[in-house]
Structure 1
């Protein structure tokens, strides 16, 4: 049995064991005297069966993956791991994806187990870091593993809260690095939201960690009812019980409320067709609208209204979309507050708060307003009056006192802390939030409202997915407070209630790996375990696991074809000789004749010209004709300035000459068969440069397979003719040639060979799709070796590589090259902050249009060198067939410079135009980058300047963090 087939069988058997005990929610018996019995005694409510099952597996020594809906109490399982660590004298690390969650969990655990036993480690916080239980962000644990930190000693348990974050495009790889890199003795407790491929994820965890059990609960602790609000009325979305209000999914599809279908038909009669389907200048209706699909309403209509330049609220006809004030009032009357209203725009969230203020909406009593003011004073009391004015504190406080707030990434962390505490206390009645809240801290509500089911994904407006809908509405229903939760979708013009029902009834949230090796990861892994073992570790990633799973079908096809091939070859058996050998001779003749015919029919000049137009510096090619026939390496593609626009490439030949070629040297196409690195400062006018390049080319040529040359033209045609003649003579001499049943045998043999071609193609596709992670790792190693970060030995990491190992930004290699080249030398603290900001900052789409620039001449000169370094690295990446690194972005340079120079908050925010929360987040990113550069640079001026910049920037709202009080 093949290794892949054995792996599949193991996965299947694990899946059967999983179903036998996990999916049955029967009564669970706690063993007397067990740690679990002691643990449950500390709670004043009984634990659910799935929680007990997961805890029991942990006490038995297994790792667990717990997947359950939002609000189902998964963290109880993580807290049991903490309890076990404290009871057995081992350490437990509790990791979370974001700092806010770490702070929240730290306070919870410290209150439960004592501040002397619990510590906190985030990017800029360190409290009791050697405690027996340490809460940290996942990046901190990843860095510990790479540094072989002594803090890892005696580590027995790691809890990975919100482990489904590994699907995050930007930060997800960190989760897989930790899972793969942790010592085998560590028990891993993974807590995940409900995903549709939990078993697949669990199989992977069991594969790489060993002895991991999967515990799934699909039962929501609070049933969720689905509604649509049209005008001032709240309609049930389904005619019967909503699928999400059932304990188990129904086999029958739920019927849509007929009242909503009637409402949609009524709206259709009143709204002209051309207002529902935008038209182009030709007057023909467009089939595809770039503003969402339109099935959830609002998309096509909004597109038209933007063209007309008017607000959708002024539209004629039936006004079924409720205003925000009407929505809030109706929710209050229906006793559906507190609520979270998801608005897929930061400006939309803040605008909604202002609209409610202007409408005079007040949702709190005098006592509640006083308590909210007290919460605000507690969190914001340490801020200066000038900073508060710059942050529109008066508007925030007025809305807060009325029970209204917004929550998004652009909000200052201290303000978010006020909103979170006020909402958790039931004092804030409605929060307008972006979807990031659904992935963040524990902040459930009685009701979740979705204003629209279309959002901007950074490139276009698209429908939200069933997984996103599940994630957003999962906040509805507070366990222990509400007997039911509610999801309300606001009516949009053109809405199809059946499409909304389909979205609300599906429970699909697939977990897809975003893992991809980086330069920093590569040098750290090579330094720890060597190239060969590192390659093997990366092949264990979830990304590779998912890729391999997709290859199974291709392997199945190949195996089925092989069985049929064997049957056909048996039918083609000939007693006069080996008919398979004879058939292969016939097949080779057929293929050569077909290839020769194709070559003769081609327009060789056009094809040859096209092959020249695609050449790039460093390409190794075969020159088919002329004085310089033979091997050559391209120095300059020569696509510009040639006669008639034809390319005249400059090459170095195998005779060590540097010459310009013309199209007459290429009567037939050429093909790239290798790559040679051309020095950045190569000058063809200097004899030494020519000699050195020619020597490198000859060395490279010796390593190439001589058969790699693709020969064309008259020479190829003559060789094919000779080969065909030789094969025909072999056919006539073969003993099977005179067999009276030759053609009968041949038909079976040809079918076998046709299937064999299909089998080989399937195998090639499988090979191309497998080992993708390892192949990228190999390319990264080649880049790092060519640039002096890795040596040629398996474990060899150079001094430059050890410096790179301390840089964790997306542009880690560019940053390392800048340090090596002295690009940052001579800059003062504000200037260094400005230049480094370009290596971490990424302009959001909504910020584009503002002209960015560097703050002074010194930073402009340094930034010019940074970009030159980035281009140089990009060329090397292209040479090794890697995608180019992200381009440096100077959009935050002036703000970083101003803040590091001591400018007041109001002036800096006014200059950069960023929301306060974004500003603080990016300043902290720059501070983190400065810390990395200080650690990487070693003793000297650059380290001193980096630390000066950190001190200068860590002030005011940046340093102020209410969670650390």
Structure 2
């Protein structure tokens, strides 16, 4: 039992390992209660008079955890360090971004020397092309006396990650996995002429449209976010509508605000009361977006992205928590750790701009967002809908939507100039070589090389009998040479008896070669 709740088996297993002062790596789907394990560590270490660090990949998640624990243990026990805020940096419970923790380890390790546990929320960010190296460096530079809890979405190579950390930290890392969702997900595609449908049906319809078109290019009316909202409004709200563009988040919300109003008179009064309560804390909102957002909020519509003022995000999050937002257009950062489940998740596209080109979202990205569908204790199942455009349909541009096909983590290790300077400043040449050889990429390459060597050994064993035939007294190579000699003699011999003998010998050699 913890906080009056009976722990699920995977939570209880993780808690037992923590009580044994072990490092733990937990891999489980979104929304099953991984954060409860982090809460347990924080309360346990604080009650024992120790220090604990909680790291998050985004500021919004850091701020949320800070507010939660400040209400639980009081202001004096809490500290937060992000790029924008520094409060009580020597507190026993420190909330910070992973970048700041990495910087502390490299630049001022004494500040965190007495930390007993560090929590890496969303540790699968180690696979992030732009920031993944931060998690690797944190795990490499972390003192071996410090224990950690890593919370990850479902990943197929969690044991490989744990083995690497064990090698780096020279201490045991226990792995806890859980695969079942508390609320199962139901995945569908949506196209305005087809309604809710399957990938197979879309493929069939697309092939027919291509065959019937003049130039092989279908021309049908494009399905929009308004079509999908109209289809789900009576049964599937509230919903998170993931849109991979900040500008589009806002424009889509404004467009829906022109077409729909989801709130009654009583609910509008509740919205105003919550807005007034937040504005008392932040009386001077200087944002040209606020009047437009306020009008949307009074209709149960909102948007949320990293470019908004923190106070505006606070208002949206509080209203969503009170179930006063029916449709929230958001970017994928809303799915990173923030605990805001809903009944339905929608995608306006299966592709995203990654800074270089448009690419299909990965299965891991898909389930990170789709996993927000389904509220524990409220919904029997969560619904996930993805818009399809038949004019540009391409099955390769969609994730498989199968959770057992989530991609394995791959190292994104890349030293920054700052990291290099800190290495030169704090370590000798021998230690630098040792540290650089400890990254996850090197470990994965070494494991891959070992796998290739094992395959070569197996192939060698399979080829050994043939090799013996080639080299032995009656070896194939010798027989082939002998056959060639006999065939040359056959072309220059005119004696019938000799020819007959040569042909007999050649047939014998051919039979032996065939049997070999």
Same fold by TM-score greater than 0.5: yes
The correspondence for 1:160, drawn from 120, 136, 144, is: 120
Determine the structure 2 residue equivalent to 1:545. Answer: 443
Determine the structure 1 residue equivalent to 2:19. Answer: 59
The correspondence for 2:454, drawn from 547, 556, 567, is: 556
CA distance in 1, matches of 2:207, 2:387: 17
Superposed, 1:364-763 pairs within 5 Å as: 364-380=263-279, 382=282, 384=284, 387-388=286-287, 391-439=288-336, 441-494=338-391, 503-506=400-403, 507-556=405-454
Determine the structure 1 residue equivalent to 2:40. Answer: 80
Specify whether residues 273 and 72 from structure 1 end up closer, same or farther in structure 2 by C-alpha distance, changes over 3 A only.
farther
The superposition leaves residues 70-127 of structure 1 with CA deviations (integer Å, 9 ceiling, x where unpaired) of: 1111111111211331243221111111221111111112222333322222233232
The superposition leaves residues 729-764 of structure 1 with CA deviations (integer Å, 9 ceiling, x where unpaired) of: xxxxxxxxxxxxxxxxxxxxxxxxxxxxxxxxxxxx
Unaligned runs of 5+ in 1: 1-39, 239-255, 277-314, 575-965
The superposition leaves residues 931-962 of structure 1 with CA deviations (integer Å, 9 ceiling, x where unpaired) of: xxxxxxxxxxxxxxxxxxxxxxxxxxxxxxxx
CA distance in 1, matches of 2:224, 2:467: 72
**CA offset at residue 330 of structure 1?**
2.4
Determine the structure 2 residue equivalent to 1:358. Answer: 258
Q: Is the 8 A contact 2:55 2:95 kept in 1?
A: yes
Specify whether residues 358 and 269 from structure 1 end up closer, same or farther in structure 2 by C-alpha distance, changes over 3 A only.
farther
The superposition leaves residues 555-611 of structure 1 with CA deviations (integer Å, 9 ceiling, x where unpaired) of: 33665688889997999799xxxxxxxxxxxxxxxxxxxxxxxxxxxxxxxxxxxxx
CA distance in 2, matches of 1:435, 1:540: 31
Specify whether residues 401 and 522 from structure 1 end up closer, same or farther in structure 2 by C-alpha distance, changes over 3 A only.
same
Specify whether residues 41 and 200 from structure 1 end up closer, same or farther in structure 2 by C-alpha distance, changes over 3 A only.
closer
**CA offset at residue 422 of structure 1?**
1.4
Superposition RMSD in Å: 3.1
Determine the structure 2 residue equivalent to 1:345. Answer: 245
Greater relative CO (CA pairs within 8 A, separation 6+): 2
CA distance in 2, matches of 1:75, 1:184: 24
**CA offset at residue 496 of structure 1?**
6.5
Determine the structure 1 residue equivalent to 2:216. Answer: 274
Determine the structure 1 residue equivalent to 2:511. Answer: none
Q: Which structure has greater strand proportion?
A: 2
Q: Is the 8 A contact 2:210 2:217 kept in 1?
A: no
Correspondence 1:178 to 2:178: no
Q: Is the 8 A contact 1:158 1:186 kept in 2?
A: yes
Q: Is the 8 A contact 2:210 2:216 kept in 1?
A: no
Specify whether residues 398 and 554 from structure 1 end up closer, same or farther in structure 2 by C-alpha distance, changes over 3 A only.
same
Please report the TM-score for the alignment, with normalisation by the length of structure 1: 0.45
The correspondence for 2:149, drawn from 189, 196, 207, is: 189
CA distance in 1, matches of 2:399, 2:255: 32
Determine the structure 2 residue equivalent to 1:330. Answer: 231
CA distance in 2, matches of 1:271, 1:216: 50
SS in structure 2 of the partner of residue 517 of structure 1:
coil
**CA offset at residue 524 of structure 1?**
1.8
Unaligned runs of 5+ in 2: 474-516
Determine the structure 2 residue equivalent to 1:151. Answer: 111
Superposed, 1:897-916 pairs within 5 Å as: none
Larger Cα-atom Rg: 1
Please report the TM-score for the alignment, with normalisation by the length of structure 2: 0.82
Superposed, 1:122-141 pairs within 5 Å as: 122-141=82-101
Which shifted more, 451-460 or 479-488? Answer: 451-460
SS in structure 2 of the partner of residue 436 of structure 1:
helix
**CA offset at residue 196 of structure 1?**
2.2
Specify whether residues 229 and 94 from structure 1 end up closer, same or farther in structure 2 by C-alpha distance, changes over 3 A only.
same
Superposed, 1:756-771 pairs within 5 Å as: none
SS in structure 1 of the partner of residue 174 of structure 2:
strand
Q: Is the 8 A contact 1:232 1:326 kept in 2?
A: no
Correspondence 1:199 to 2:159: yes
Q: Is the 8 A contact 2:366 2:399 kept in 1?
A: no
Q: Is the 8 A contact 2:188 2:384 kept in 1?
A: yes
**CA offset at residue 383 of structure 1?**
5.3
Specify whether residues 123 and 501 from structure 1 end up closer, same or farther in structure 2 by C-alpha distance, changes over 3 A only.
closer
**CA offset at residue 476 of structure 1?**
1.0
CA distance in 2, matches of 1:275, 1:501: 19
Specify whether residues 266 and 368 from structure 1 end up closer, same or farther in structure 2 by C-alpha distance, changes over 3 A only.
farther
Aligned length in residues: 469
Specify whether residues 465 and 154 from structure 1 end up closer, same or farther in structure 2 by C-alpha distance, changes over 3 A only.
closer
CA distance in 1, matches of 2:399, 2:301: 32
CA distance in 2, matches of 1:270, 1:419: 47
